[in-house]
Amino acid sequence: MTPAAAEPVVLKHFVNSFRETELKTILERHGIEELIICGAMSHMCIDGGVRAAADLGSRCTLIHDACASRDLEFGGVRVPAAQVHAAFMAALSFAYAKTQSTDEFLAGTGGVVDVG
């Protein structure tokens, strides 16, 4: 994929997409207050990005079935990816984002999403 002419591109180097990037400035410049978020990994970049966006004042919708995680291990305990994902979606839906499935989201938009 190639960005459209004058389309902003954000190159991130940290879990939090806002850290040491122009993302917040770009969103403000374009008057964007609501974010639709999906991607990988639920327990890293999704978690960090949603929390940061909400803390900075954005309304977040998290498309839970368009996010992914992987098995994790801590202290000799293996946690399957599905449980990791579910735990992070539950935590984020508590105070940081409205969570929806892809079908629920598209039904609410009539299948049309304005990407501005």
Query: Is residue 4 situated within a structural domain?
Result: no
Structural domain includes residue 79: yes
pTM, whole model, 2 decimals?
Answer: 0.89
Q: Which of 6, 47, 1, 13 is nearest to 29 (CA)?
A: 6
Alpha helix segments (H runs only) across the chain: 23-29, 47-55, 81-95, 102-109
Number of folded domains that form the chain: 1
Structural domain includes residue 38 = yes
User: Does residue 2 sit within a domain?
Assistant: no
Q: Report which DSSP code applies to 114.
A: -
Here the CATH number for the domain that contains residue 31 is 3.40.50.850
> Is-contact 101 65, C-beta < 8 A?
yes
Full pLDDT tens readout for the chain, 116 residues: 899 998 999 999 999 999 999 999 999 999 999 999 999 999 999 999 999 999 999 999 999 999 999 999 999 999 999 999 999 999 999 999 999 999 999 998 766 666 65
- 5 found inside a domain: no
> Judging by beta carbons within 10 Å of its beta carbon (0-12, 13-18, 19+), is residue 71 exposed, middle or buried?
exposed
